[in-house]
Amino acid sequence: MAGFGAAHHFYKNNIRATIYEKSDFIGGHAATFEREGFIFDDGPHISFTKDKRIRKLFHDSVNGKVEAFKAYVNNYWKGFWVKHPAQVNLHGLPNEMVVKIIREFFEAGKTDKRTATNYKEWLLETFGKTFSETFPMEYTKKFHTTTAENLDIDWIGPRLYQPDLDEVLNGALSASTDNVHYVTDFYYPSNGGFVRFLDQFIDNANLKYSHEVTKIDPVQKLISFTNGKTKRYDYLISSVPLPELIPCIKGVPTGVLEASQKLACTSCVTVNIGVKRKDISKAHWTYFYDQNIIFSRLSFPYLWSPNNAPENCGSIQAEIYFSKKYKPLNKEPDNFIEPTISDLKRCGILCESDEIVFQEARISPYANVIFDLERIPNLEIVHNYLKQADIKYCGRFGEWGYHWTDESFISGENAAGKVLKQLNNLRKPTMVFKEKD
């Protein structure tokens, strides 16, 4: 996404950039794989961009052939199914718990004073104890692989809906509430999976597959690859994850190298299942809070486009998170297939009689940035160094943020914009002022 964003911006300015990609396919984390008639993205991907320009670019890539939906999202907790977000859809949860949540939410709302220095404190200040400890704090352990007190608060933004008391009360009393999830409208290519949104950009860059960067010499402006090739560059923009990029740079100071290795992120094992049944789920995706259920989230790609699964089949994509720093993955991904199927049956999504016609497990080594308390100071060290070395960084793992696909694409465009500015400055005629005698 970020690489094509940069190349697109150059192309619009009559420059054809070269993209070096380590894989032999495009898309990075937004790649799509087709297997036995099932289409699964690397992780579940939909476009919910509110940026009309980006939406048009993506849709033009597929000649307007997109599926457009209103998303229905729900949550599963100890056998209860509640609409998302749970804080405004408490209806149906145990009465005693609902009363406690509302009382604590009311108490939390009595003061405007905000003193939170970590995510746990922010949750307690915003929602009170019972809701925080039952839902977001449990989800944090599964999704971020660490505890809420170890997380910063600068990433939250619209991701956690902050209702007023009336909304909480209405959601507790009524099963039907307005949709307030920050994602409501979503788009997905009708054919070929999410990666097709990149189609129109492929020809606008000089794309080199199977070029994994191993060495960068920022002084000589040389870049070397595992395939043995070395190339000279004029300007370098990188969307390579920072902990991998920094060790490649010749002469990088030890302090910067150490800082880059302290940046934490999750890896994701996705278990993809194809089932000979279509009525598996009414939700487009579902969040799971119980620690004894292996996955954090399930998505149902067959509901996003009818072409994502063979006729009369449904598809499920489960996400299971790990991290080098907090929860290392010490098994091959295939080991997660059986536990996933077993938990799908336990929560009633699959039944014993279901015929599973496809199953696989994949690993995405870089999934989500973990916003732990070590992130900001170490990121500053790394980014400052890259600026000195004149290597522009972009994308989710270059900027090291919570970027969605549209933001990653724009981040690439912005990095290209910085290069163009440098180029324009070089081209400007130098003004020479003569001092008067």
Ligand X SMILES: Cc1cc2nc3c(=O)[nH]c(=O)nc-3n(C[C@H](O)[C@H](O)[C@H](O)COP(=O)(O)OP(=O)(O)OC[C@H]3O[C@@H](n4cnc5c(N)ncnc54)[C@H](O)[C@@H]3O)c2cc1C
Residues in 28-57 that interact with ligand X by CB under 6 A: 28-30, 43-47
Q: Does the CA dihedral 87-91-96-99 come out positive or negative? A: positive
Q: Is residue 409 within 8 Å of residue 5, measured between CB atoms?
A: yes
**Shortest gap between Cβ of 97 and ligand X (angstroms)?**
30
Considering the rule CB under 6 A, would residue 397 count as an interface residue with ligand X?
yes
The size of the interface with ligand X (CB under 6 A), counted in residues, is 34
Considering the rule CB under 6 A, would residue 403 count as an interface residue with ligand X?
yes
> Which range binds ligand X by CB under 6 A, 60-68, 88-96, 389-397, 427-435?
389-397
Q: Which long-range contacts (CB under 8 A, 24 or more apart) does 217-225 make?
A: 217/250, 218/249, 218/250, 218/251, 218/389, 218/390, 218/391, 219/250, 219/251, 223/20, 225/20
Q: 326 Cβ partners below 8 Å, 6+ apart?
A: 145, 146, 264, 370
Site string for ligand X, 55-94 (x = CB under 6 A): ----------------------------------------
Residue 319 or 343 with smaller CB distance to ligand X: 319
Q: 370 Cβ partners below 8 Å, 6+ apart?
A: 144, 145, 146, 151, 264, 265, 266, 323, 325, 326
Considering the rule CB under 6 A, would residue 368 count as an interface residue with ligand X?
yes
Alpha-helical runs (H) found in 280-430: 337-346, 375-388, 405-427
Q: Does the CA dihedral 361-1-74-267 come out positive or negative? A: positive
**Shortest gap between Cβ of 5 and ligand X (angstroms)?**
8
Report the C-alpha gap between 185 and 424 in whole angstroms. Answer: 40
Considering the rule CB under 6 A, would residue 401 count as an interface residue with ligand X?
no
Considering the rule CB under 6 A, would residue 239 count as an interface residue with ligand X?
yes
Cα 213–chain centre separation: 23
Residues in 206-235 that interact with ligand X by CB under 6 A: 211-213
Site string for ligand X, 93-132 (x = CB under 6 A): ----------------------------------------
> Which range binds ligand X by CB under 6 A, 162-170, 286-294, 400-408, 424-432?
400-408
Phi, psi values for residue 378, rounded to 5°: -70, -35
Residues in 305-324 that interact with ligand X by CB under 6 A: 319
Residue 6 or 313 with smaller CB distance to ligand X: 6
**Shortest gap between Cβ of 411 and ligand X (angstroms)?**
7
Alpha-helical runs (H) found in 136-268: 136-143, 165-173, 242-245, 254-261
Q: Which of 17, 151, 240, 341 binds ligand X (CB under 6 A)?
A: 240
Residues that bind ligand X (CB under 6 A): 1-3, 20-23, 28-30, 43-47, 211-213, 239-240, 244, 268, 319, 366-368, 395-397, 403-406, 408
